[in-house]
Structure 1
Amino acid sequence: MRTQKLGTSNLEVPVVAVGCMRINSLDQAQAERFVQTCLDHGANFFDHADIYGGGKCEEIFADAVHMSSSVREKLILQSKCGIRHNIGTFDFSKEHILASVDGILKRLRTDYLDVLLLHRPDTLVEPEEVAAAFDELESAGKVRHFGVSNQHPRQIELLKKAVRQPLVANQLQLSITNATMITSGLNVNMLNDEAVDRDGGILDYCRLHDITIQPWSPFQYGFFEGVFIDSPKYPELNAKMDEIAAKYSVSKTTIAIAWLLRHPAKMQPVTGTMNLERIQDCIKAADVTLTREEWYGILLAAGNKLP
């Protein structure tokens, strides 16, 4: 698969990341087939989080890939921490970050993570504690690169007051139908809903600072309300995607990912499917480059407006 650098790092990653949030829906044999299919197609970047399946997803993945030192060398592993569902808080304290990483490493049966992301903002964050945790993890060789998830520019700048490591990625909700970070930039100084900036200019900020945006839920509309592909709520969008998919002899799934990859921000979409056919369709997007007219046509067919 086509690759790119992750943020300002020298880490070369596939342009499509494999999200493992739902791997606990598979049995052992299915999980093994899924992971091997991804690897066979060059998709060796796997995204996890300590809360997925209550930690079970990381264990299932390690079993499915038959984790060993030789296998680990072929993988790029990313995980996230900072959400404590059991007590209903976010937690970026040094103590919690360090304990979370130790748990992640144990479940994945590895000595290190390639990337650790802070999972959603913690309003009680003390940047100095995050910095101390990152320094300890880096010096111990437990984490090689760091980033954030669902954060706007000022929150990232706050962390950077103390954190010395580059923040190489920001995982954000983004899809054709959830594209406010794009449409607000197209409607600057306009008296319409599309001009409302809900993201703090995060798209331009990440481009300016070479932070890789990792779109999550690339097929969802709303907040996990459903997928827009073949949804009766989006007839014009599906008609347009059918037209473009036919031109490239691919599926609408491929076109949805290719739409994100076409943006010059050099995004790395994170898939969520556990379906073998769909994950292969996602991977095919790395070889499809939409024209400017096709990209804007899809944007408008989803109901987004230009001034």
Structure 2
Amino acid sequence: MRTMKLGSSSIEVPVLAVGCMRMNTLEKAEAERFVQTALEEGANFFDHADIYGHGECEEIFADAIHMNDDVREKIILQSKCGIRKGMYDFSKEHILTSVDGILKRLKTEYLDVLLLHRPDALVEPDEVAETFDILKSSGKVRHFGVSNHNPLQIQLLQKYIKQPLVANQLQLSITNSTMITSGLNVNTENDAAVNRDGSVLDFCRLYDITIQPWSPFQYGFFEGVFLGNEKFPELNQKIDEIAAKYEVTNTTIAISWILRHPANMQPIIGTMNPNRLKDCTKATEIHLTREEWYSILRAAGNILP
């Protein structure tokens, strides 16, 4: 699989990340088969979070991959923390405790990347900076990033944090593409011109922060997938037409649409189906034409002024 630099770091990562949020839906043998398929496809970047299955997903993953020192050297592990029941928490105590729990469940001594999961309204940036220094100097975390943060929230953190924030995990799919479409409707009076995220796409490109799109097949906020959905007839017709041209599945085209964007994003693939994962990895071999990319954008109901 093709690789890329993660943000401004020197770490080389696959252009697709394997999301492990649903790992606890698999039986042991299924989990082992899935992880092995990912490795065979060159997808050795695994994305976790301490809230996925209340930590169970990390435990299942570690067992499925048969974690040991040799295995650990061949994979890249990312996890997230900061979400608690009824609140968000970026306090020093919570982050340190969370990381220790993550490491224990993953049976590893370090994370390649730690992300702060959702913005904490009560964040004290200097305390986060102190916490990151502890995690970095102790060797428990090598790189840091955020998830679901806007530009000013990132800048506020970065003012205090020594380490560069290398990634920002954000929702993006063909049907949830306002971070792209708002930039196409500048100086117009239609609703598509509404900028809801502070131009986070351009910001991340300017400051070498890799965007990691999550839910690349979802529409709305976990309302369902758009592929094969009767709510999106024109979009599915266009995707199927292009899929037939390249002799791949609609899944492949949906991912290749994201990869075609020059921001060098790293989509998080959340499927637990080995065959569908293979369909996703095939997207790394396809380079949609400009005409194809825009035709999919329009078919999703987006307008060009």
Q: Name the structure 2 match of 1:116.
A: 114
Letter of the aligned partner of 1:145 in structure 2? H
Output aligned runs, 1:48-127, within 5 Å: 48-85=48-85, 88-127=86-125
Cα deviation code 1:4-50 (max 9, x no counterpart) = 00000010000000000001000000000000000001000000000
Q: Name the structure 2 match of 1:272.
A: 270
**For residues 119 and 255 of structure 1, what CA distance do their matches in structure 2 show?**
28
After superposing on structure 2, the runs of 4+ consecutive aligned residues of structure 1 that deviate more than 3 Å are: none
Unmatched segments (≥5 aa) in structure 1: none
Cα deviation code 1:101-138 (max 9, x no counterpart) = 00000000000000000001001000001100100000
Q: Name the structure 2 match of 1:303.
A: 301
**For residues 198 and 281 of structure 1, what CA distance do their matches in structure 2 show?**
32
Output aligned runs, 1:110-189, within 5 Å: 110-189=108-187
**For residues 91 and 300 of structure 1, what CA distance do their matches in structure 2 show?**
40
Superposed displacement of residue 191, structure 1: 0.5
**For residues 41 and 201 of structure 1, what CA distance do their matches in structure 2 show?**
34
**For residues 11 and 302 of structure 2, what CA distance do their matches in structure 1 show?**
35
Letter of the aligned partner of 2:220 in structure 1? G
Unmatched segments (≥5 aa) in structure 2: none
SS at match of 2:175: coil
Letter of the aligned partner of 1:91 in structure 2? D
What is the root-mean-square deviation in Å for CA atoms of aligned residues? 0.4
Q: Name the structure 2 match of 1:17.
A: 17
SS at match of 1:46: strand
Superposed displacement of residue 76, structure 1: 0.2
TM-score with structure 2 setting the length: 1.00
Q: Name the structure 2 match of 1:199.
A: 197
**For residues 9 and 112 of structure 1, what CA distance do their matches in structure 2 show?**
17
Q: Name the structure 2 match of 1:2.
A: 2
Superposed displacement of residue 201, structure 1: 0.3
TM-score with structure 1 setting the length: 0.99
Superposed displacement of residue 161, structure 1: 1.4
**For residues 218 and 38 of structure 1, what CA distance do their matches in structure 2 show?**
18
How many residues of Structure 1 are paired with residues of Structure 2 in the alignment?
305
**For residues 289 and 183 of structure 1, what CA distance do their matches in structure 2 show?**
20
Letter of the aligned partner of 2:62 in structure 1? A
**For residues 97 and 150 of structure 2, what CA distance do their matches in structure 1 show?**
26
**For residues 3 and 171 of structure 1, what CA distance do their matches in structure 2 show?**
18
Letter of the aligned partner of 1:55 in structure 2? G
Letter of the aligned partner of 1:2 in structure 2? R
**For residues 142 and 248 of structure 2, what CA distance do their matches in structure 1 show?**
36
Give the percent of matched residue pairs that are identical in Structure 1 and Structure 2.
75
Superposed displacement of residue 200, structure 1: 0.7
